């Protein structure tokens, strides 16, 4: 096995140890993809059937790259692997088993826009204000519940969740969740979270199905394990329960998706679930220079909750990490653009070697303007993707409705596009009648003449015949032939072709590009299933960056740090390093939140191969006003010996001329104030159990799950919310809403 020659000792150990539970702690740039690839190749090389191996990743791109690498080692047998994202693999299982849960096998997968649209419809029906019940907030709440395996009925009966919603002034959230779930079910649709939630339900209610897949998957591997949520972890644990050949790979220092439901405790506590666990640490970084690696190490060492490891590299020392101080956000943009241009010329780099990383999308403006002024091309990852453009979504809606007539969101989108005389009032009547009879909208359309009747009957009947004709044609065609037939006969292609404006031409070209994508899908020799349904499933499961499909080597990449995970660039600029911006003001209320922000900065630093530049501004426009800014505490947490203040791009007086350039960074007052205090880490007592707080009164000693021990100073029962002022030992006084505070009364 020649490939073993290229591995270092810990990597080789991880590849060769295949039996029993294993956790591979893989530091940034440590070659984890190579290890996973060779581990699977080694299994197949030793006689394990590829059909019996399940490998789960977080992006389709990662899965494709890994499959290609494995194929280069073991040949075409790699095509038989069960490999893909959590959502794609479990969507595949649900296609086969969906009818056991009452769904059709051709169920639609709703994307975020579809889900929000359905929520907007439900809000109208319930006469709720969408400014209070913002669809994005409601969807996030529903998503969080599903990721914790809380179904709509359970949610509606949970007093803590109800209290949370009441405190957020959204007491009807449970009712919306219930109606949302009912409507998705009726429409034969699942959203992304349902793909995991329903897989858990399937395995819980149908043990024969669980046993079937336990016997199929002899080896289970999970990449980026630190990003898994409770739902994902439980599925993989159930699937591997028979043989316990489970191998998880991850880095707790790169756990940055708590806002999406990722639970860092999955990796921190994995050993508790598997006492005989073998742990292997990959600590050699092959990506970055020594100065970059050590600056990242000095930062992340400040986190309390972590699996300790000593990341190192044999690469060159490289340049010190540069720190740019700007007087304003606009100057920051100018200095960074200048730095990129100079580095490109001096180091003979391409613009594609550069990335500008920021905490939030709204920070991109000053950098875009500065890059444009210097005629430097750039791309923003996370902008409007190809598959989110209106005309593309319109044709995809026709395709979806053809495959699944009950797809409510697709139906509402195209029932009167192109215009066919079906007005809003007619659609409203259909929705009301469907609700009254507890049926799908399509059922009302098919029986429109009998259920509603009137002038619209003929038009509605023509529409239903059109969609049925598409269904018949699709059965005899592959995805490309079917999509082309639908695009022409729906009138959509003609509608766009007739629009001779510049915008109209662009929209028409986008439709042609979509058809090109479908043709490419059909022509791929790797695909056995070339049907329209298979194409729609693949598209619905793509991530935003994969949908964009942009890879111009001469463009600087701008993106949020969250979007940059898994990528690497020769030169990285991490910008906006100011208190309340990074770390975010929203993440300063607890040590857990602050440590996630620090991990986010760690991820940003470790994207850099050769050159790392950090920047901050002393003033910034916030909400239309100029606000003074303090440098981020994170700058102070990096050992000063790895940093230098650059003087290349600004006037001398901007950088503290009273100090010599060899003066340590902290003594040059780059960071004039000490880091802000944070909430000390508190580990709840082993017997911690939240008390009934109806009896709470002044003088009682209590324990809070995060804030620790304290004494109740005052209880306020006036108004709608019961509050208490509690003096905690380590953080002082805090006012808590008792409706959802987790407190245990120690002494009355």
Could you tell me if 398 and 598 are in contact, meaning their C-beta atoms sit under 8 angstroms apart?
no
Could you tell me if 143 and 193 are in contact, meaning their C-beta atoms sit under 8 angstroms apart?
yes
Long-range contacts of 693-697 (CB under 8 A, 24+ apart): 693/722, 693/724, 693/738, 693/741, 693/743, 693/745, 695/745, 695/748, 696/724, 696/738, 696/743, 696/745
Q: Among this protein's residues, is 529 annotated catalytic?
A: no
Place of tokens 């939140």: 593
Catalytic member of 111, 194, 223, 595: 223
Catalytic member of 11, 12, 32, 611: 32
Q: SS3 letters for 324-336?
A: EEECCHHHHHHHH
Residue 89 to residues 143, 324, 462, Cα–Cα distance (Å): 19, 45, 38
Catalytic member of 254, 402, 426, 474: 254
Candidates 36, 48, 14, 38; CA nearest to 216 is 48
The CB density around residue 461, as the number of other CB atoms within 10 Å, is 14
Q: Which two tokens stand for residue 141?
A: 């709440």
The CB density around residue 724, as the number of other CB atoms within 10 Å, is 24
Q: 421: left (phi > 0), else alpha (psi -120 to 50), else beta?
A: left
Q: Among this protein's residues, is 254 annotated catalytic?
A: yes
The span from the CA of 77 to the CA of 71, in Å, is 7
Place of tokens 């009879």: 437
- Give the H/E segment covering residue 538: helix 532-540
**Exposure on the CB side of residue 32, measured as CA atoms within 13 A:** 24
Q: Among this protein's residues, is 223 annotated catalytic?
A: yes
The CB density around residue 627, as the number of other CB atoms within 10 Å, is 11
Could you tell me if 740 and 167 are in contact, meaning their C-beta atoms sit under 8 angstroms apart?
yes
**Exposure on the CB side of residue 510, measured as CA atoms within 13 A:** 21
Candidates 1, 88, 91; CA nearest to 37 is 1
**Sequence-distant (≥ 6) Cβ neighbours of residue 156 within 8 angstroms:** 162, 174, 175, 177, 178
**Sequence-distant (≥ 6) Cβ neighbours of residue 378 within 8 angstroms:** 351, 367, 368, 371, 555, 556, 557, 558
Sign of CA dihedral 51, 228, 354, 370: positive
Q: Among this protein's residues, is 474 annotated catalytic?
A: no
The span from the CA of 180 to the CA of 182, in Å, is 5
Place of tokens 């993106």: 559
Place of tokens 């692997």: 81
Q: 728: left (phi > 0), else alpha (psi -120 to 50), else beta?
A: beta
**Sequence-distant (≥ 6) Cβ neighbours of residue 433 within 8 angstroms:** 444, 451, 452
Could you tell me if 81 and 55 are in contact, meaning their C-beta atoms sit under 8 angstroms apart?
yes
For residue 147, what is the DSSP state?
H
Catalytic member of 33, 461, 618, 646: 33
Catalytic member of 224, 331, 332, 593: 224
The span from the CA of 430 to the CA of 433, in Å, is 5
Q: Among this protein's residues, is 481 annotated catalytic?
A: no
Residue 589's Cβ-count burial label (10 Å; 0-12, 13-18, 19+) is middle
Could you tell me if 111 and 403 are in contact, meaning their C-beta atoms sit under 8 angstroms apart?
no
Q: Among this protein's residues, is 560 annotated catalytic?
A: no
Catalytic member of 183, 607, 610, 611: 607
The span from the CA of 727 to the CA of 736, in Å, is 11
Q: Which two tokens stand for residue 674?
A: 């000490």
The span from the CA of 577 to the CA of 583, in Å, is 8
Q: Which two tokens stand for residue 95?
A: 């296609």
* Residues labelled as active-site residues: 32-33, 223-224, 254, 607
């Amino acid at each position: 096995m020649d490939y073993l020659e290229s591995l270092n000792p810990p990597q080789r150990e991880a590849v060769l140890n295949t039996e029993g539970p294993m956790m591979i702690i893989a530091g940034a740039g440590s070659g984890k993809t190579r290890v996973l690839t060779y581990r699977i190749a080694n299994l197949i090389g030793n006689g394990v059937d590829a059909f019996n191996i399940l490998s789960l990743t977080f992006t389709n791109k990662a899965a494709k790259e890994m499959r290609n690498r494995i194929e280069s080692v073991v040949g075409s047998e790699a095509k038989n692997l069960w490999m893909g994202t959590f959502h794609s693999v479990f969507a595949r299982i649900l296609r086969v088993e969906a009818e056991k849960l009452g769904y059709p096998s051709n169920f639609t997968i709703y994307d975020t826009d579809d889900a929000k649209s359905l929520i907007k419809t439900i809000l109208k029906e319930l006469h709720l204000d969408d400014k209070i019940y913002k669809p994005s907030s409601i969807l996030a709440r529903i998503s969080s519940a599903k990721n914790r395996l809380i179904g709509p009925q359970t949610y509606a009966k949970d007093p803590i969740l109800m209290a949370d919603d009441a405190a957020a002034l959204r007491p009807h959230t449970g009712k919306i969740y219930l109606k949302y779930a009912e409507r998705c079910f009726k429409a034969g649709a699942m959203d992304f979270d349902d793909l995991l939630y329903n897989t858990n339900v399937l395995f819980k209610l149908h043990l024969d199905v669980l046993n079937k897949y336990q016997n199929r998957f002899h080896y289970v591997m999970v990449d980026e394990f630190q990003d898994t949520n409770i739902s994902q972890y439980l599925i993989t644990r159930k699937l591997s329960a028979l043989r316990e050949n489970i191998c998880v790979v991850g880095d707790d220092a790169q756990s940055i998706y708590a806002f999406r439901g990722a639970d860092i405790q999955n990796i921190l506590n994995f050993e508790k679930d598997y006492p005989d666990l073998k742990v292997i640490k990959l600590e050699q970084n092959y990506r970055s220079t020594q100065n970059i690696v050590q600056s990242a190490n000095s930062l992340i060492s400040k986190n309390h909750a972590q699996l300790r490891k000593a990341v190192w590299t044999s690469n060159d020392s490289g340049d010190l990490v540069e720190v740019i101080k700007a007087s304003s956000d606009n100057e920051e943009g100018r200095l960074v653009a200048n730095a990129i241009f100079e580095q490109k010329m001096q180091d003979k780099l391409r613009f594609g070697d550069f990335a500008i990383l920021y905490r939030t999308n709204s920070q991109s403006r000053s950098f875009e303007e500065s890059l444009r002024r210097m005629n430097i091309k750039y791309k923003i990852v996370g902008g409007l993707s190809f598959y989110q453009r209106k005309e593309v979504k319109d044709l995809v809606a026709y395709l979806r409705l053809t495959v699944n007539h009950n797809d409510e969101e697709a139906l509402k989108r195209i029932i009167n596009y192109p215009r066919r005389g079906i007005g809003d009032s007619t659609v409203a009547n259909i929705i009301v009648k469907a609700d009254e009879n507890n049926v799908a909208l399509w059922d009302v359309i098919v029986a429109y003449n009998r259920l509603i009747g009137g002038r619209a009957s003929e038009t509605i009947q023509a529409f239903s015949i059109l969609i049925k004709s598409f269904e018949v044609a699709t059965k005899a065609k592959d995805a490309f032939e079917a999509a082309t037939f639908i695009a022409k006969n729906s009138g959509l292609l003609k509608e766009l072709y007739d629009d001779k404006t510049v915008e109209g031409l662009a929209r028409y070209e986008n439709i042609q590009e979509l058809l090109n994508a479908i043709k490419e899908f059909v022509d791929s020799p790797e695909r056995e299933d070339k049907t329209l349904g298979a194409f729609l499933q693949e598209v619905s499961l793509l991530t935003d960056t994969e949908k964009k499909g942009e890879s111009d080597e001469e463009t600087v990449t701008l993106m949020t740090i969250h979007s940059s995970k898994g990528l690497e660039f020769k030169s990285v600029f991490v910008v906006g390093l100011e208190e309340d911006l990074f770390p975010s003001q929203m993440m300063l209320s607890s040590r857990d939140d602050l440590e996630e922000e620090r991990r986010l900065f760690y991820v940003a630093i470790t994207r850099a191969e050769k050159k790392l530049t950090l920047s901050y501004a002393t003033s910034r426009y916030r909400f239309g006003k100029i606000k003074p800014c303090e440098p981020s505490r994170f700058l102070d947490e990096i050992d000063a010996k790895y940093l230098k203040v650059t003087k290349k791009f600004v006037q001398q007086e901007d950088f503290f001329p009273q100090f010599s350039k060899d003066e340590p960074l902290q003594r040059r007052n780059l960071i004039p104030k000490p880091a802000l205090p944070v909430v000390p880490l508190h580990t709840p007592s082993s017997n911690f159990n939240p008390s009934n707080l109806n009896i709470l009164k002044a003088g009682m000693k209590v324990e809070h799950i995060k804030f620790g021990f304290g004494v109740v100073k005052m209880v306020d029962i006036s108004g709608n919310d019961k509050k208490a002022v509690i003096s905690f030992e380590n953080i002082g006084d805090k006012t808590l809403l008792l409706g959802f505070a987790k407190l245990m009364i120690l002494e009355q």
